[in-house]
Chains A and B, each alone.
Chain A
């Protein structure tokens, strides 16, 4: 695909952040399949870099570094390693998307090391399933399925108003099973039916799709895929 002059100006608008959120998201959708266009965005970033580079340096107070290391490494190292292993299960495509949107959308979440959500620190010996769901806007949600069949999922704001985000469990073979709609704000607590729990193994995938308000009318995914993630036992 060749890049038009207009595309290059779009990329410049995006790099400067002139558009508001909705238009930015639209541009990001175009970026997904177009690494060449993404390259143009990076070229603009590179071009404008001297503006940032020309600022007089100001050393950050020592407490900033202390806070960073406390946030990153303060948690039990073993717990951190556990989370890292879970992160390996990101899908390749998701990683490719993140490479771009992680920065471009500026809403990075990364491997969210959240002991409460990941089940770390729970009762010893309890095994939980965890899914890292990578959304198209570059954020990653973690969904946890605990032994009692309760699923705890991070909020998924709808891409477009009047649409809802529906979570599906997709077994290695067989049809997707709807797990319900994700709350646009606040954490969702979803009770997963027992027969759906039985479908879960390490090849199961969680997928979030955009559906009409109230959920897919057909009981099967109809809308665009907003994000997906593998499920793994931690």
Chain B
């Protein structure tokens, strides 16, 4: 993962990018592209689409860099949010929500267990513990949602459950997660 030790330098590179420094942008890309490409591949499950999404994401990062400071987020978080949102939009534009959900579930079951080494930081461990505490069903849904598969509507459609029921279940899970993480 992008370790917190790197966070400071990535923040700095993004700040310089905001000033139009192409060299900083180049370095920023070198430092971050493998992480963001992995994210695009995971969400989109298609190499060509992931490459296109990467292009769009970095174009946005360059153009929006000046607004990153106002978000008060960490640079990596900001870049991940841009990239993830873009990939999810693409996924939803490409597939019916239900198909997207099914695809995401397949991924969730095979590859969504982060390996221990990568989840070494204290925050990561806490997140994994708290997600596991939600139980198999809800914890899995949170993971799937993060990687772009789930909307309330798709869940309701698949299970034939009223929208309100699904919604209150997930809201309970989020509230529990928040308590566990003491957010």
Contacts and interface: CB of A to CB of B under 8 A. Distances in A.
Interface of A: 5, 8-9, 12-13, 16-20, 38-39, 42-61, 63-65, 67-68, 71-73, 84, 95-96, 98-100, 102-108, 110-111
B77 A96 contact: no
A50 B119 contact: yes
A59 B33 contact: yes
Given A54-B1, A58-B41, A13 B170 contact: yes
B51 interface: yes
Contacts of A102: 60, 64, 67, 82
Nearest to A51: B146
A107 B60 CA distance: 10
A18 B145 contact: yes
Contacts of A48: 127, 146
Given A54-B119, A55-B38, A64-B55, A19 B151 contact: yes
A56 B85 CA distance: 20
Contacts of B33: 59-60, 64-65
A45 B177 CA distance: 14
Interface of B: 1-2, 20, 22, 29, 33-39, 41-42, 51, 54-55, 58-60, 62-64, 67-68, 70-74, 76-78, 80-82, 84-86, 88-89, 97, 114-115, 118-119, 121, 123-124, 127-128, 142-143, 145-148, 150-153, 170-171, 174-175, 177-178, 181, 183
Contacts of A12: 174, 177-178
Given A51-B147, A56-B118, 12 more contacts: A8-B178, A12-B178, A17-B151, A45-B80, A54-B114, A59-B37, A64-B51, A84-B20, A99-B68, A103-B71, A108-B82, A110-B64
A85 to B, nearest CB: 12
A19 B167 CA distance: 9
B143 A51 contact: yes
Nearest to B50: A60
B181 A47 contact: yes
Contacts of A84: 20
B175 to A, nearest CB: 5
Contact of A71 (B35, B55, B64, B175): B55
Contacts, number: 179
CB-CB nearest 8 A-B residue pairs: A106-B85, A110-B63, A54-B114, A53-B1, A99-B70, A57-B34, A50-B124, A55-B38
A16 B152 CA distance: 11
B34 to A, nearest CB: 4
A54 B2 CA distance: 9
A64 B59 CA distance: 11
Contacts of B67: 95, 98-99, 102
A102 to B, nearest CB: 5
Nearest to B154: A20
Contacts of A42: 71-73, 77
12 contacts: A16-B174, A17-B85, A52-B39, A52-B80, A54-B119, A58-B34, A63-B51, A64-B33, A104-B85, A105-B85, A106-B86, A111-B63
Given A53-B2, A57-B38, A60-B51, A106 B123 contact: no
B43 to A, nearest CB: 10
Contacts of A108: 60, 63-64, 82
A87 B143 CA distance: 38
A48 B76 CA distance: 12
B115 A54 contact: yes
Nearest to A105: B85
A87 B9 CA distance: 28
A50 B55 contact: no
B164 to A, nearest CB: 13
B175 A9 contact: yes
